[in-house]
Amino acid sequence: RLWDEDRIARDTELKKEYGLKNSSEIWKADEELRKYRREARRLLSLGEEERVVDAKKIISKLNKLGIMKKGDIDDILSLSVKDILERRLQTIVYRKGLAKTPLQARQLVTHGFIAVKGKRINIPSYLVSAEEENYISYAKPIDLSAGEMKAESKQAGEAKAEPAKAEPAKKEEAQGG
């Protein structure tokens, strides 16, 4: 439901934690999760022989994406939206320490500063596979402390640049009359 208070609170918390732009990014991750869970429920309803091949496919795909390390079909049903959001390029850049905040990670990805396996990727929602995770790096050199230095020098410059406040001129009390 669109105006569900609990959902709004959950979305707000997730947006802050993962540096998301809007709720539709959460909804897309939610839909991705629903797709896997729907398939798992379908497989559970099948007979043992029929489900083995399809179950291996979906479990190997989730393992490849790094969403699920090991497990079976029942473990797919216990996945949450956070498991999907943790695999986004934006989140992994932040978790690896390439950015100081999730929002900065989003900005670095969007502006083309991040590469995966040497290929520049500018999509924050890109789902990083477990194999690619070790190959995330800066696409070009960047100094993240430059923004802090500018802010510090600006504050120091303002302190020096403030002119001394002149005191109001005192009137001569009584001038000869």
Contacts of 59 (CB under 8 A, 6+ apart): 68, 71, 72, 73, 76
Q: Are residues 26 and 10 in the same domain?
A: yes
Q: Are residues 74 and 4 in the same domain?
A: yes
Is residue 153 in a domain? no
Structure confidence at residue 70 (pLDDT) = 83
Taking 80 as the threshold, does the pLDDT of residue 58 lie above it?
Answer: yes
- Model-level pTM greater than 0.85? no
Query: In this structure, are strands 136-138 and 119-120 parallel, antiparallel, or unpaired?
Result: unpaired
| Angle value at C-alpha 100, between 95 and 106, nearest 5 degrees | 75
Question: What range does the domain containing 109 cover?
Answer: 88-142
Number of domain units in the chain? 2
Q: Tens digit of pLDDT for each residue in 140-171?
A: 888 887 666 455 555 655 555 555 555 555 55
Q: Percent of the chain at pLDDT above 90?
A: 67
Name which residue leads in pLDDT, 29 or 164: 29
Structure confidence at residue 166 (pLDDT) = 52
Q: Are residues 26 and 103 in the same domain?
A: no
Give the integer Cα–Cα distance in Å for 131 and 46: 32
Give the integer Cα–Cα distance in Å for 32 and 53: 21
